[in-house]
Structure 1
Amino acid sequence: MDSGVELKFRSTSQCCECGPQKSPALCSAISATSICANCFDMSVTPGTRYHTLLNSNEPPDESELTFVRSVASTVDASLEYLDHEIANLPENMKRLEEKRASLLSYRVRNNAILSLLRWIPPELLREIFSWTMPLLEGAAEVTLGIEQTPWMLTQISSRWRAVTFSTPSLWSHIFIDYRHSHINPDPSTYSPSLIKAQLDYAQKLKIHFYGSQGIDLRPQIDMFKLLSQHSSRWEELSVGLTAEMVPILMTLRDRIPSLRRLWIQWSTVEDQSGVHSIDCFQPASSLVDIGIFNEYRFVPVLLPVHQLTRYDIDCQLEEHIRVLKQTPNVIEARIDVTFDEEAWSDSLETVDLLRLRRLYISPAGALKYFKVPSLEELALDFSGEDILSLVRSLLDRSSCSLRRLCLQSPTAHTAIESLQYCPSLTELLILHDDGSRRDEINALISALTLPNYPGGLALAPQLRLISFGCDYESYLDYEAYLKMLQSRRGAENCALKSAALLIVDGLKPESETVRSLHTLRQEGLDFLLLEGVRARDEMLPWDYSTLWT
């Protein structure tokens, strides 16, 4: 190997810095084949192979490893000698520490040549980089800037920079939120130049843009216009509209051929002022997933309803029926009936949703207007209605077999009767957010425990998954919950394989209970225990809400 470096071994009597007064015994801390730090020449000839390895991320050849390791060994011995000098010669501390720092830096650079990172192929680096991207669930905390991923990855090395810039998926998410001025004190710091660069590096785009009437609208409008210039590459759009943004949105008709997912919301009632309808999305030939949260008043949005596979809108029941009877391909639906000031007419027609497999509906009384022969999963918010008769009527009318049932704050009676009526159920999920029903939830846990159920029989022995989620303050009897899981795991006729306990706030289980729950996991139960924001995010899909909104 043309190393370009000499390892100079001199006697201590010839040492330029150690001097003739130093005896060989003083250097006893290093091996006979090494030299003291002051005599180790770290100069490397430019243009040599070793100089290239020290100043790049290029991997060494097998034939070069012995030399690199020998240099590392010599440096280690010299560092050991310096440690000896520092300990015994306090007056030379500053000089020796500076020399030691220099050697340490040299060793790091030398050892970097041997790093496995140099052998990682670009495709694996891309996968690793994708896992560093910020999650959008904590939307208010996502910021832009060169200190954030993916910009941060470009600052590590020339190789990482090349891989990052050549990976369009790392640049596809653009998140801009003008609502949280208390977190981003100066929203104008969303840099147009950074956004323009990101738009250039990306291919398909996932746009999350939320406007606000509470701050200067001009930068918001300019930024939305910039993003709209690239609307042909939009795959996803999650937008919090202001009235001023709607005219820009309306210009995008016939300019969003790749848009597959759409979420629209309004921040204030003033944002909807003067907006009568939105029709730019009707020609979107790829749009299959739609979510609209009107909240304040219903604003019609014309859609390519015949091609939708997911539907999530809050509006009047009559409007739901009008749209859904034109959606033969919808597979998942969140039907939130709002803005109805009068009782529903019996003359409203029943809608056949032939392919629908997953349904959330509120209030449950709207169930009677739908027929769902392929339904497998149902989520309901208990609101005092006769849910049992409504569910029975739906299942009888549709001739479907439920596999999964999610109930929000049900009575124990409702949950038990539902399990008895639907022997096909294998998954039960209970969302609890009502402190007044703590006794009901704990009564359900008791009923699921063996052999507490009347007659000594197991309630719903076919259940493979039982999950409880506490969206606000938890009122669960954790010891009773543990006993329920233990009893069902130990019963020969019970099918329980998975369970989850999600606690957003309130009292947590005692440490002994947690240890026993983890013991169940070690014994084969697929068990998930989460707290706080992570628990809330895990619960969102239970009623078919989406995380990206």
Structure 2
Amino acid sequence: MDNDFLQQYCPQCGFCSSPGPSLPNIGVPSGRVNQLLASNELPLDCELEEFKEILSSGSEHLHSLNQRLSQVRHLLNRLTAQSMAVEHQLFISKTLTNPARKVPCEVLEQIFSWGMVDPMNATIGSPDDSLDARDFLWTVSQVCSTWRVLTLSRPRWWASIRLDLQAGPEKRDPGPLQRFLHRTTPQALRNQSVESVQPSLPPFLAYRFALHLERSGDHSLSVFMGSKRDISTHPLLPLILSSSPRWGKLHISFYKPESFRALEAVSDSLDSLHELRVSVFDDHKFPSRWNTTAFRNAPKLQTVTLNDRPNFFQLPWSQILNADICGKVLKILPEFENATTLTLRPTKRRLSVTTIFASSHLTRLSLWESHHAVPQGTIEFCFSLMSLPKLLSLELHYHGRCAQLPYFGWRTLPSLTSLLISAPSKVLDWSDTCEMLRFVPKLESLSIEATIDSDAIFHTLISDQPSLRRLDLTGSEMSFDHKKLLNMLDCRRSERQTVLNELVLPTPLMIVDSEVWKWSSIWISAVTRGLNAVCRSHRSTIYIIQDETADVANAPSTSRLPSS
């Protein structure tokens, strides 16, 4: 059948032609043919006639087949080329019609901003190094002309610089980027960059740093510097320090005291610095009574974060407005004369400290017992040394063995409006908690993260908190009769109290009672009056089960009232 097709149809256009020459079949049995091939025996006369006939017509037949094979090969090549051309056109069309090309610059700008790392949150050894060829800005600025124009027109992006000073040139593989920078950087800038650093520094690192500064325009710089090694001899350091007058935010993370000393060379040029974050590691390698004056003269410095050893640093404490301090905080606490926000994480309780810290400026305070090494009662002791008549927000974080709440009096925190007590997986002393709440009548927001196994606190919220608007129990384990909470909502509807308008729950309320109408009406009334009930772990905020003997574990399959 295939033979007939090849003879009658053109493989290129399908034209039907007359049959071509055909090769007659050999009439000699195959066994006889094999016998003749295996010996020198002469075929019989009739056999010779058949073989001669095949020889006479075979050449013409073979020539015809070769012609057709040539035509098929030519057609195959043409079809293959056309297939590749169509595939290429499809690829081009798909690329050019990609919806990403329609994304407005405003949307691209927002997407790109999500891809960048804030230098104030950078860490040593992270891949986010501004001198690395794989860094986000270097990458997106080479994708296409649109992206390049967008990135180069946003100098504030280039004003964020992250420098991992312990990374060698092998990490910052130059590759094509080195050639790109060399091609696009003005000759004067290349010469200046090379002349300003030591010969041991690979030139492309200086190019990138210089380009970062150039592309940042006049924006204030946000800089991270980190290294486990001594950076005082780093060849790029002189170029980095030359940009110090533009530092607005600075985050340094060093292991060696010599690294901090290296920054003292620019202590008088930090006129723009307004936020400082310092991470000290391996402080046992620092000499006793060691300190640095690198940041003593920073007239605009207002925000400071120190992860340890605040006594190491001579800072203008009196002008600090926002501080997050870990370590021996009580020793420097009296120096925060004008602070408005303080986060204190003491690591040691100094019983010898008796100076009262009185501040009429402090409005937000966060106290932490952050690990088991902190003595029990550290927060209570710290709080006993404070007089804060203007404090509006207080956070108490317990991560030790137990939570020992501070003592409140009528004059302790007369202005407090927001209170957070965080003691995950711990049972608070609810008598102490209720006693504390009695002395903060202006409280508007209360957040508790603990195991709530008593309904005593809800009795307190009925009578002693007339201004409460928000109750947040996220992170709590509610092992009490949930009807007590609904009863509190009902009792707070009196005219002399502010209506609670936001309730945040970790799990839905489970109400098992025969008087369904009573609890349903309380909940519906609260929602109608504007209660914003939110459950973090479920779509519904309350389940009401009519039969008191019902299995609470099957509550999700019972009727439920949705959240507001």
Deviation digits for residues 486-545 of structure 1, max 9, x if unmatched?
8888997462525375xxxxxxx89x9xxxxxxx9xx95456569xxxxxxxxxxxxxxx
Residue 403 of structure 1: which of 400, 405, 418 is its match? Answer: 418
Distance in 1 between residues matched to 2:101 and 2:82, nearest whole Å:
32
1:68-127 Cα offsets, whole Å, 9 max, x none, are xxxxxxxxxxxxxxxxxxxxx999874454132122134235536xx684683x555434
Equivalence for 1:422: 440
**How many angstroms apart in 1 are the aligned matches of 2:237 and 2:489?**
55
C-alpha change, 1:163 and 1:431, in structure 2 (3 Å) is same
SS in 2 for 1:299: helix
- The C-alpha deviation readout for 1:390-435, integer Å capped at 9, x for no partner, is 4414x51453233233333561414444334434323333456xxx
Q: Distance in 1 between matches of 2:481 and 2:76?
A: 65
Aligned-partner SS, 1:334: strand
Residue 332 of structure 1 aligns with which residue?
341
Q: Structure 1 CA distance, aligned partners of 2:473 and 2:403?
A: 23
Alpha carbons 1:373, 1:400 under 8 Å: kept: yes
1:497 aligned residue (485, 499, 502): 502
Task: Provide structure 1 residue ranges, at least 5 long, that are not aligned to the other structure.
Answer: 1-17, 23-88, 433-440, 470-475, 502-508, 513-519, 531-549
Q: Could you say if the C-alpha distance between residues 498 and 255 of structure 1 is closer, same or farther in structure 2, counting changes exceeding 3 Å?
A: farther
The answer to whether structure 1 residue 236 and structure 2 residue 249 are counterparts is yes
Residue 189 of structure 1: how far off its partner (Å):
6.3
8 Å CA contact 2:503–2:532 kept in 1: the answer is: no
**Could you tell me which of 359, 363, 366 is aligned with 2:365?**
359
**Is 1:173 matched up with 2:173?**
no
TM-score by length of 2: 0.58
Name the amino acid aligned to 2:341. E
Pairs within 5 Å for 1:292-331: 292-294=306-308, 299-316=311-328, 319-324=331-336, 327-328=337-338, 330-331=339-340
Query: How far 1:271 moved relative to its partner?
Result: 4.5
Picking from 295, 300, 304, the partner of 1:281 is: 295
Deviation per CA, 1:125-166: give whole Å up to 9, x if none.
434432332366574644233433222221222122022012
Q: For residue 264 of structure 1, what is the aligned residue in structure 2?
A: 278
CA displacement, residues 445-495 of structure 1 (integer Å, 9 cap, x when unaligned): x666xxxx56996996835141434xxxxxx64797999998888997462
In structure 2, give the amino acid aligned to 1:231.
Answer: S
CA shift for structure 1 position 235: 1.1
- Partners of 1:417 and 1:398 lie apart in 2 by 14
Instruction: State which of 132, 147, 157 in structure 1 corresponds to 2:144.
Output: 157
State how many pairs are aligned: 393
Greater relative contact order (CA < 8 Å, ≥ 6 in sequence): 1
Equivalent residue number for residue 113 of structure 2: 130
Conservation of the 8 A alpha-carbon contact between 2:222 and 2:250: yes
Check whether the contact 1:466–1:499 (CA below 8 A) recurs between aligned residues. Answer: yes
Shift of 1:369: 2.1
Deviation string 1:13-63 (CA, Å, 9 cap, x unpaired) is xxxxx97659xxxxxxxxxxxxxxxxxxxxxxxxxxxxxxxxxxxxxxxxx
Structure 2: gaps spanning 5 or more residues: 1-10, 16-74, 175-203, 369-377, 494-498, 511-526, 539-564
Alignment CA distance shift 1:93-1:528 (3 Å): farther
Instruction: Give me the whole-angstrom Cα distance separating, in 1, the residues matched to 2:82 and 2:93.
Output: 16
The verdict on how the C-alpha distance between 1:447 and 1:429 changes in structure 2, with shifts beyond 3 A counting, is: same
Taking only aligned residues, the RMSD between alpha carbons, in angstroms, comes to 4.5
State the shift of 1:229 in Å: 1.9
2:286 partner letter: Q
Query: How far, CA to CA, are the matches of 1:225 and 1:168 in structure 2?
Result: 23
Q: Which AA in structure 1 matches 2:128?
A: T
**Distance in 1 of aligned mates of 2:265 and 2:205:** 21
Higher alpha-carbon Rg: 2
Between the aligned residues of both structures, percent identity stands at: 17
- Return closer, same or farther for 1:487/1:251 CA change in 2, 3 Å cut-off: farther
Tell whether the 8 Å contact from 1:404 to 1:425 is kept in structure 2 after alignment.
yes
Partners of 1:407 and 1:167 in 2: CA distance? 41
Matched, 1:107 2:122: no
Shift, 1:366, TM fit:
1.7
Say whether the 8 Å CA contact 1:266–1:272 is kept in structure 2: no
Distance 1:223 1:417, change over 3 A: farther
Aligned residue for 1:221, secondary structure, equals coil
SS in 2 for 1:399: coil
Secondary structure, counterpart of 1:404 in structure 2: strand
